[in-house]
Structure 1
Amino acid sequence: MPVTVTRTTITTTTTSSSGLGSPTIVGSPRALTQPLGLLRLLQLVSTCVAFSLVASVSAWTGSMGNWSMFTWCFRFPLSWRNFPITFACYAALFCLSASIIYPTTYVQFLSHGRTRDHAIAATFFSCIACVAYATEVAWTRARPGEITGYMATVPGLLKVLETFVACIIFAFISDTNLYQHQPALEWCVAVYAICFILAAIAILLNLGECTNVLPIPFPSFLSGLALLSVLLYATALVLWPLYQFDEKYGGQPRRSRDVSCSRSHAYYVCAWDRRLAVAILTAINLLAYVADLVHSARLVFVKV
């Protein structure tokens, strides 16, 4: 993507089928009248309104409430070739998680009144922000034949998804009692951490435009990383459900046996539900890594 820098004004020209191909001057009021500028204003306003509605009545408590508030107030206004779409993709996923977690773990337990009304309105604006960020990703992702940054391609967006899902997994396994009693489960946690670190390194190398520091071609590095992650996650997909839900290995096959699940109150997820959520997220991330491997392998063949 051609970029011309003159003093503090950056002129960026792109061509895509979304109709966003006109020159946009970052830092100029004229940029706010462009479709992408208006969309980003909608993102800003909707997240600010969601945060303000909840903060005004103190309608958040515990880790899940803190996650939602962090999501709505987190912004990182940098702009270069790979960063905008990376941030938009993360923001879409974060707002999606907050739009699901906040009402299911908090809003439904509130009594009718002003606090509940604010919480419901905040959820609505969170959904708007999610749609707005997802629209930006759809608009700015790479189209066939375009020359663009890696993060705008399918493998780049999959890297974002992989790291985000890993973060959700880490949130669910924050209680070490879920895995410390079995070496196989500790291996699963190691798999989640290793694959997250590798995917994060790939993202940071692209954001910092440091891919040339690698001793091998970057497409080959990505293919090897995806293959390793697929193999590791395949073991976690087998071991985690086996040791969490099979009685032969000390697991609990039925939710009704978990005493903690009999309590129903806000901002609390019982142990059995956490185990199930991690199992589902492991399967989702394995599928993401398989798709990543397929697309990364194509990039290698294209380079060859």
Structure 2
Amino acid sequence: MLTRATLPYQRYVNRVFWFLRVPQLLSTCVAFSLVADMGILRGDIGNWFMSFWCICFIVTLFIVIIELNDLQPCFPFYWYNFPVTFACYAALICLSASIICSVTYVQFLPYGPEWDRAVTATAFSCITSVLYAIEMAGMWNFYKLKEIPCYLHTVPSLLNVPETFVAGVIFAFLSNTSLYLHQPALVWCVAVYTICFISEAVTILLNLGKWEDRLPIPFPICQLVLTVFSVLLYNSALVLWPLYQFYEELGGLPQRSSDGSCVDGLMCAWDQRLAVAVLTAINLLVYVAELGYWAHWVSIETEDQPGDS
């Protein structure tokens, strides 16, 4: 019988994927060390990458320690769901770091030792993303083959991952508080991103812990209400953020050349404003897709109720 601590064929799974986690630790550590060694030349973007790789390293090391010492029973959720979910996020994080680093950072560095370090760090980040993707795909298929229930086997969970991931990237850009603190409408947009992110994070925790039945209302209806709420909030952000960031009459900067901080090729404040606008639109589309799923689910359940009674 499947419990929170154990998983059928767990030893087999650990043997199969053990050779992935050690390279994951090494790759993230090397990428982090190379960028850290660049000093002030790494800039804010380099600090972002370092934090991404550091998080992946720490969580992977945490998973390794827990599984080596058989400490899974200490956690109030089904442990076997956690590594595959994290591997999915880590693959996206490292892939994004590799793309952003090569597009907005490496190409603008002068040739020399710093350029070599940045290129090597990007290469190791790419390797890490591939390793995490292999782990995620392998464990996803293994669980499905053995008919082991997995959080990522459901459509909503596959949509929750990009929703929270995109929100996390938005927060990375919003670390530059000068983008929004001067305008209450933009502060509202930041509140929208925060509220929706917390809502999705709670949903993921409920799914990982199999606590959906503890809610006072059916989980699908709760999800439908939350998704409608998120779609409405993101619609407001999609209107307000570009309006106050790029409309000149409201204090925005319509062109990149209007931003005095964009004096070199590196990413500037205007680029961050544009990135947040694009990511807002992407996340809104994902929320709309989730809304369609839950609306269809609830409508089917509602139609089936008279026949069941």
TM-score range, shorter chain: 0.7 to 0.9
**141-150 or 108-117, which deviates more:** 141-150
Report the Cα distance in structure 2 between the residues aligned to 1:297 and 1:155, rounded to whole angstroms: 12
Matching residue of 2:109: 110
Matching residue of 1:17: none
Cα 1:58/1:263, change in 2 over 3 Å: closer
Matching residue of 2:183: 182
Shift, 1:225, TM fit: 1.2
Shift, 1:145, TM fit: 11
**275-284 or 124-133, which deviates more:** 124-133
Cα 1:279/1:261, change in 2 over 3 Å: same
Cα distance per residue 1:165-184 (max 9 Å; x no partner): 11221222233332233333
- State the one-letter code of the partner of 2:27: S
Cα 1:263/1:138, change in 2 over 3 Å: same
Cα distance per residue 1:159-199 (max 9 Å; x no partner): 12212211221222233332233333222222111111111
Q: Answer yes or no: is the 8 Å Cα contact 1:85–1:140 preserved in 2.
A: yes
Matching residue of 2:270: 272
Matching residue of 2:27: 46
Matching residue of 1:128: 127
Considering fraction of residues, name the structure with more helix: 2
Q: RMSD in angstroms over aligned alpha carbons? A: 2.9
Report the Cα distance in structure 2 between the residues aligned to 1:218 and 1:133, rounded to whole angstroms: 30
**233-242 or 103-112, which deviates more:** 103-112
Report the Cα distance in structure 2 between the residues aligned to 1:220 and 1:128, rounded to whole angstroms: 41
Q: Answer yes or no: is the 8 Å Cα contact 2:35–2:46 preserved in 1.
A: no
Matching residue of 1:19: none
Shift, 1:216, TM fit: 0.9
Report the Cα distance in structure 2 between the residues aligned to 1:300 and 1:38, rounded to whole angstroms: 43
Matches within 5 A, 1:61-100: 61-74=42-55, 75-76=58-59, 77=63, 80-100=79-99
Cα 1:139/1:297, change in 2 over 3 Å: farther
Q: Answer yes or no: is the 8 Å Cα contact 2:245–2:251 preserved in 1.
A: yes
Q: State yes or no: 1:261 paired with 2:247.
A: no
Cα 1:112/1:254, change in 2 over 3 Å: closer
Give the secondary structure class of the aligned counterpart of 2:95: helix
Report the Cα distance in structure 2 between the residues aligned to 1:41 and 1:153, rounded to whole angstroms: 29
Shift, 1:244, TM fit: 1.6
Matches within 5 A, 1:1-304: 3=2, 11-13=6-8, 23-25=9-11, 31=13, 33-34=15-16, 36-55=17-36, 61-74=42-55, 75-76=58-59, 77=63, 80-141=79-140, 148-264=149-265, 269-301=267-299
Report the Cα distance in structure 2 between the residues aligned to 1:37 and 1:145, rounded to whole angstroms: 19
- State the one-letter code of the partner of 1:116: W
Q: Answer yes or no: is the 8 Å Cα contact 1:82–1:152 preserved in 2.
A: no
Report the Cα distance in structure 2 between the residues aligned to 1:115 and 1:95, rounded to whole angstroms: 20
- State the one-letter code of the partner of 2:162: L
Q: Answer yes or no: is the 8 Å Cα contact 2:28–2:53 preserved in 1.
A: yes
- What residue ranges of structure 2 are gaps of 5+ in the alignment? 67-71, 73-78, 305-309
**105-114 or 89-98, which deviates more:** 105-114
Question: TM-score with structure 1 length normalisation?
Answer: 0.80
Question: TM-score with structure 2 length normalisation?
Answer: 0.79
